[in-house]
Each structure stands twice: as C-alpha cells, then as structure tokens.
C-alpha cells in the first residue's frame, strides 16, 4: 500500500479559502477599474462639458444683448434709445464681422490678419466716438 502524504491526508490548507477569496476580489476590482471607473469618468466629463457649453453660450448671448443695448443708447444716430436700432445692429455687426474675418484669415500660421482686424475695430470705435463728440458739441 502506498503512503498518503500528510498534507493531502488532512485536506487543503486552512488559508486556501482566504487566498481564493482574495484572488476573486482582486479580479472583480480589476474588472471594475477597467470598466465602471472609466465610464464614470467619461460621464462626469460629459456633464461638466455640457454645463460649461450652456453657461458659455448664455454668457455670450448676455454680452451681445448688452453690447447692442449700449450701442443703441449711445450711438450718435437718432434722438434716443430705440430711434436708430438699425445703426446699433450695423455697428455691432461690423465689429463682429471684422473680428470674425480676422480670425478666419489667421487660422493658418500668421496672426497678422487678426491684429489688423483688431486695429480696424479700434479705428471704427474711435470714429464713432469722434462723430458723437462732434455732434454733441454742435
């Protein structure tokens, strides 16, 4: 008769269940880290991005409305607020068109068109202010 080794006769070692449990827990943690954690990170980034886009677009609309109201109130055309709304829209449209054209032309490597557009916007603003001052003095 063959002798049975003492370790096999008593069955598995007492820490066998603990080691197997730890291996299963480690495997589940690795699967969670590779799937769920990445999805949570992606969803958080998406929510924060959408929130940022919403706030930025709201701010842009508010700034444009304020700019149009200021131009309508202080442009040297018409007798008061609302009399020359077309001029306010023309003025703000010219500023934004000039800036947009400068950005479009400088999308390559040179920033010179953008600089020229900013200078043109500044000159347009100075010209409107000067016309207002001249009309105010006469």
State the helix-helix crossing angle for 85-105 and 112-137, rounded to 10 degrees: 160
Would you say 86 and 78 are in contact if contact means Cβ atoms under 8 Å apart? no
Phi, psi (degrees; rounded to nearest 5) at 80: 175, -165
pLDDT at 61 > cutoff 60: yes
83 pLDDT band, cuts 50/70/90, is: low
- Residue 114's pLDDT is what? 79
Q: What is the mean pLDDT of residues 68-89?
A: 73
72 domain residue, yes or no:
yes
124 domain residue, yes or no:
yes
8 domain residue, yes or no:
no
CA 95/CA 125 separation, integer angstroms: 9
Q: What is the mean pLDDT of residues 2-31?
A: 76
More confident residue, 127 or 135: 127
6 domain residue, yes or no:
no
86 domain residue, yes or no:
yes
3 domain residue, yes or no:
no
Residues 17-47: tens digit of each pLDDT? 888 899 999 999 888 888 888 889 999 999 9
| Alpha carbon 53 to chain centroid, angstroms | 5
Which token pair is 86?
């077309």
From residue 88, how far is each of 37, 61, 73 by CA, in Å? 52, 16, 8
113 domain residue, yes or no:
yes
Q: Which domain holds residue 32?
A: 15-137
4 domain residue, yes or no:
no
- Residue 15's pLDDT is what? 86
User: pTM value?
Assistant: 0.57
Looking at the structure of the chain, the number of domains it has is 1
Residues 88-100: tens digit of each pLDDT? 888 888 888 888 8
- Residue 81's pLDDT is what? 56
Which token pair is 31?
């699967």
Q: Cβ atoms within 10 A of the Cβ of 117, count?
A: 21
């Amino acid at each position: 008769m063959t002798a049975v080794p003492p370790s096999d006769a008593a069955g598995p070692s007492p820490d066998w269940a603990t080691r197997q449990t730890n291996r299963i827990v480690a495997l589940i943690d690795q699967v969670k880290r590779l799937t769920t954690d990445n999805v949570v990170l992606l969803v958080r980034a998406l929510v924060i991005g959408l929130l940022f886009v919403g706030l930025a677009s709201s701010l842009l609309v508010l700034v444009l409305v304020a700019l149009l109201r200021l131009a309508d109130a202080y442009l040297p055309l018409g007798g008061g607020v609302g009399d020359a709304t077309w001029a306010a829209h023309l003025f703000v449209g010219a500023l934004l068109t000039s800036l947009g054209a400068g950005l479009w032309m400088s999308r390559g490597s040179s920033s010179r068109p953008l600089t020229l557009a900013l200078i043109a916007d500044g000159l347009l603003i100075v010209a409107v202010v000067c016309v207002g001052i001249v009309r105010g003095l006469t």
